[in-house]
Amino acid sequence: MNMKTIFSHLKVFSAVVFIIALVSCGSNKEDENNPVPQDTAKTVALKDTNSAAQNFFYSLPSPLVMARVFKKTGLKYEEGVANSPDNVSKYTSIQSKTLNLGVYSADLAYAILNKQSQPATKYMEAVKHLSDDLGMSTLFSTENYLKRFKNNIDKEDSLMNIVSELKKEMDMFMRDNETEKQTLLIFVGAWTENMYIATQITKEVNKEKIAMRVAEQKYILNNLMNVITTFQNDNEFKDLYLKLNELKALFDKLTVQGEEEKIIMDELQLKAITEKTRDLRKIIVG
């Protein structure tokens, strides 16, 4: 397909092609046609905490809003693109477990949205496994989320409600325990997995539509880097920061034009972003 130029509005609500699954907060009644204002995203304000990282985390749109945005791109499920749930046992360090909790959260949403019940169950089990290892086992035991998930496996709306409820519990846990770094690592894992799946699938179908959403990452990545810069010298973030910064440099080359703030991205730029995303993802999933 010949793609000379891709234009898209900077709408942070559709910042990633796939839902950021458990790494987003909010009500499941939100309307996908009611985007989060850019000013709100730039301010990244939250009354309950003074942490810039947590503010950024909690300012993200809800899973269901992102799910509807994802659905409209027309993307289909491709086996083997997402991280295999069988890899969960190889993540042994706190850093790798935390990052891949984000990765599997994104993969879980990808499977649910595409009515892939078997993979969805395995991803939910992987999320529980890593959550338990990271000291968040009470999140699953309180409302018996895994059992409810399996009992409603063929009901997409019910699954999304369960995921949304679980995420709210996780939000509260993170806030109450002031796990700022953990919050960021989970988000980086989910964001990277979403970007990876999106850029891989642009090779096959709906290239222009998907690329529009990829281009919109320019804004959300800027916000992420503003927060993660604080931790760039921490051991958990050194390699991630370098790769994210390289990716940001590519997004910075995308130009924004006109009153409608349209982003222009050509096919070579998309290819470069795809390759850099793959490199970042390799560091995370191994």
pLDDT, tens digit, 9 for 90 and up, residues 89-110? 999 999 999 999 989 988 888 8
The mean predicted confidence, pLDDT, of the chain is 74
Task: Decide: 169 and 5 in contact? Cβ < 8 Å.
Answer: no
Antiparallel, parallel or unpaired: β 6-9 and 255-257? unpaired
User: Given a cut of 70, is residue 41 above it in pLDDT?
Assistant: no
| Secondary structure letter of residue 4 according to DSSP | -
- How far is CA 40 from each of CA 13, 15, 43, 45, 211, rounded to the nearest angstrom? 11, 14, 5, 7, 24
pLDDT computed for residue 45 by the predictor: 33
- Tell me the pTM: 0.77
**CA 260 → CA 7, 130, 198, distances in Å?**
10, 42, 24
CA of residue 242 relative to chain centroid, distance: 19
The percent of residues above 70 in pLDDT, for the chain, comes to 67
The count of C-alpha atoms lying within 13 angstroms of the C-alpha of 61, restricted to the half-sphere facing its C-beta, is 27
Q: Taking 60 as the threshold, does the pLDDT of residue 5 lie above it?
A: no
Residue 113 Cα distances to 39, 149, 155, 167, 217, angstroms:
29, 14, 11, 17, 21
End-to-end CA distance of the chain: 32
E-state strands within the chain: 6-9, 255-257, 262-265
Q: Assess whether pLDDT exceeds 60 at residue 63.
A: no
pLDDT at 70: 53
- For residues 52 and 155, the model is more confident at 155
pLDDT of 151: 82
Separation between Cα atoms, residue 166 and residue 120, nearest integer Å = 15
Helices (H) and strands (E) in the chain, counts: 13, 3
Q: What is the pLDDT of residue 253?
A: 94
> At residue 80, what is the residue type?
G
Residue 144 has pLDDT above 80, yes or no: no
Alpha-carbon gap, residue 273 to 214, rounded angstroms: 9
The reported pLDDT for the residue numbered 195 is: 87
The CA-atom distances, in angstroms, between 71 and each of 17, 23, 77 are 9, 18, 11
Convert the pLDDT of each residue in 237-284 to its tens digit: 999 999 999 999 999 999 888 887 788 888 899 999 999 999 999 999
Q: How confident is the model at residue 203 (pLDDT cuts 50, 70, 90)?
A: low
User: What number is the average pLDDT over the span 153-165?
Assistant: 76
d(CA 257, CA 143): 48
